[in-house]
């Protein structure tokens, strides 16, 4: 299985290695009659430097998938390798350390600590990473500068607009230099101008060579990525570049193995069709 995966994973971008390798993933909440099968068998490979969006209606299992990809939760069955390491069965302490090292999170509700300044919020992941106070301050200041918030560093979240709070959250996600930036409905609480700005940042990260996974139920948000994975009822039902996934030209692959490229010649890293 593993060998087969390696061969197939090369379809998107032959020069990069897989960062996320998910095989036969299932997640069931609860037991017996009250149980809910939120993810019902997903295979997904994301290569280094891809900008992927996962799009699905409410209740389809997007956040469940995000929690597993982000090592906030573990699957009921199936395997998940992050940056080459099997993280399907780690305990809470191991998961926390992997999260801090590999994942930068951006959530719909920002999840900033209200009593801390923007600067202290951005420093927080670096405290867990064990950096000295000086290093933390320098890196957090630089991350806030990058998202244009130098003049708001000492403000608390309640003194910032929604868009500014999300930019603080983005700086916090970036500051550890994570392998994957994982965003769950990052524009869900923002007006259209702030949404555009936030999505622009994700595009920037992608151009800088980072791997970005953007989870959303909105086609207008999903299409900013170079590859769109559609989910329905806990399964992947489509995978390809946005113009084809939304163009209805045959990327829906109900019943097929989602690891098989729906579009021949689609380069998922650049989002372009045809030979490089
Ligand atoms: N902790 C939980 N316990 C039990 N069921 C859950 C739990 N979390 C999610 N579910 C169920 O799993 C299914 C998938 O939920 P999930 O939150 O992943 O969907 P989603 O696609 O993120 O939806 P939304 O767009 O509304 O955020 C839903 O039916 C939900 O009710
Ligand atoms: Mg959700």
CB 124 within 8 A of CB 113: yes
CB 66 within 8 A of CB 216: no
Q: 144 exposed, middle or buried (CB, 10 Å; 0-12, 13-18, 19+)?
A: buried
Nearest CA to ligand 1 atom 18: 61
**Model pLDDT, residue 268:** 45
Q: What is the pLDDT of residues 89-139, one digit of tens each?
A: 999 999 999 999 999 999 999 999 999 999 999 999 999 888 999 999 999
**Model pLDDT, residue 229:** 96
Q: Compute, in degrees rounded to 10, the torsion defined by CA atoms 186, 261, 77, 17.
A: -70
Reading across the β-sheet that carries 85-86, which strands appear in turn?
36-47, 18-29, 77-82, 85-86
Q: How confident is the model at residue 15 (pLDDT cuts 50, 70, 90)?
A: low
Q: What is the pLDDT of residues 154-171, one digit of tens each?
A: 999 999 999 999 999 999
Q: Is the CB of 58 under 6 A from ligand 1?
A: yes
Q: Is the CB of 64 under 6 A from ligand 1?
A: yes
The residue whose CB lies within 8 Å of the most ligand 1 atoms, and thus the one to mutate among 35, 62, 230, is 62
Does pTM top 0.75 for this prediction? yes
Residue 100 lies in a domain: yes
How far is Cα 89 from Cα 101, in angstroms, rounded to an integer? 17
Q: For the chain, how many structural domains are there in total? A: 1
Q: What is the pLDDT of residues 235-254, one digit of tens each?
A: 999 999 998 888 754 444 43
Residue 84 lies in a domain: no
Q: Is the CB of 217 under 6 A from ligand 1?
A: yes
Q: Is the CB of 25 under 6 A from ligand 1?
A: no
Residue 81 lies in a domain: no
Residue 178 sits in which domain range? 48-73+90-268
CATH number at residue 168: 3.40.50.300
Residue 79 lies in a domain: no
Residues present in the chain in total: 276
Q: Which of 256, 242, 271, 236 is nearest to 45 (CA)?
A: 236
């Amino acid at each position: 299985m593993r060998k087969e995966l390696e061969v197939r994973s090369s379809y998107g971008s032959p020069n990069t290695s897989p960062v996320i390798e998910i095989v036969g993933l299932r997640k069931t909440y609860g037991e017996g009659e009250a149980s809910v099968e939120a993810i019902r068998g997903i295979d997904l490979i994301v290569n280094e430097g891809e900008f992927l969006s996962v799009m699905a209606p409410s209740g389809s299992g997007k956040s469940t998938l995000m929690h597993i990809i982000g090592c906030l939760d573990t699957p009921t069955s199936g395997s998940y390798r992050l940056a080459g390491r099997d993280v399907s069965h780690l305990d809470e302490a191991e998961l926390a350390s992997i999260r801090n090292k590999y994942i930068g999170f951006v959530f719909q509700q920002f999840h900033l600590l209200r009593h801390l300044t923007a600067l202290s919020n951005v420093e927080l992941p670096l405290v867990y990473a064990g950096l000295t106070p000086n290093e933390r301050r320098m890196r957090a200041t630089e991350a806030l500068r990058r998202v244009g918030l130098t003049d708001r560093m000492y403000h608390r979240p309640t003194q910032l607009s929604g868009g500014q709070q999300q930019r603080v959250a983005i700086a916090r996600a970036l500051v550890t230099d994570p392998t994957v930036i994982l965003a769950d409905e990052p524009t869900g609480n923002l007006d259209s101008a702030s949404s555009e700005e936030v999505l622009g940042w994700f595009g920037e990260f992608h151009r800088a060579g980072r791997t970005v996974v953007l989870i959303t139920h909105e086609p207008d948000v999903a299409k900013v990525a170079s590859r769109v994975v559609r989910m329905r009822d806990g399964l992947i039902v489509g995978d390809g570049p946005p113009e084809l996934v939304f163009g209805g030209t045959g990327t829906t692959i109900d019943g097929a193995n989602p690891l098989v490229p729906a579009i021949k010649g689609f380069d998922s890293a650049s989002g372009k069709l045809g030979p490089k």
